[in-house]
Amino acid sequence: MVTSSMKKLSGLEESIGHVFASPELLDRALTHSSQAREAEMLRPASSERILDNEQMEFLGDAVLGLITTEELFRRFPQFTEGQLSKLRAHLVSKNHLIHIAEQLQLGRYLRLGRGEEKSGGRNKSALLVDALEAVIGAVYLDAGLEPARSLVLRIIQPELEEFISTGRAARVTDYKSALQESLQAASRPQPAYVLVKESGPEHQKTFTIEARLLAGGNGAVEFVGRAQGATKKTAEQEAARQVLEYLASQPSTQGAVR
């Protein structure tokens, strides 16, 4: 038997691209604790506890993080752990997820207690984001990892594509520019990039570059980043990355280097 509640939720199923084999999972994902506790008060004391979406939100948050991490690992093999962490943090942040929740019009489907309803719960960012994470958890419980992956990718792909198309991805891995900006901010001399070795046949050369960090005006070298690459540019970028990591490890420069 198809209930009016199930008919209403079919619109959400269409939006997320998943039809539930167990619709009660989606219903729970949209049930706020205020509604569950309110319903319990109307039942005899011996009745079972009515489930809300808090545990499902916890599960969905983990699924979202795993799939996002896997996608970034696959898409950006050139990124450092720190860069991957920063991008993942943005993609799973409340600021990003609230836009998705609003696009899905999750507020229409929430099951709220009377008090939460009166206080504008359908428009509260925290409730909407929690519900979105719970829906991800519900999809995972209903059908497994692959359908959950499809939903998560629908959530993060538009932001990822914009990240790439606007050039922000390139800037994240432009270590030479990042190093230049960091040294300028610290009023330090720019590094010297030196070709120290060139080997291999003409069509398949390997270049070894050193990025020499100068200690000050006397020209003394404080640190050397050394890297190989199929092009000078590639080797320079990796050598610059090593210098950046060195600077970040120094107490006197922490906070100036990003």
Residues annotated as catalytic are 61, 133
Which tokens go with 103? 């696009």
3-state secondary structure of 47: coil
Rounded to 10 degrees, the C-alpha dihedral 171/256/73/156 comes to -70
Burial call 92-110: b when 16+ CB within 10 Å, e when fewer: beeeebbebbeebebbebb
Burial of 174 (0-12, 13-18, 19+ CB in 10 A): middle
CA–CA gap between residue 227 and residue 231 (Å, rounded): 11
How remote is the C-alpha of 57 from its chain's centroid? 17
Asked whether 147 and 21 are in contact (CB, 8 A), the reply is: no
Q: Are 127 and 203 in contact (CB under 8 A)?
A: no
Quick one: the chain helix, strand, coil %, rounded to 5? 60, 10, 25
State the Cα–Cα distance between residues 154 and 17, nearest whole angstrom: 9
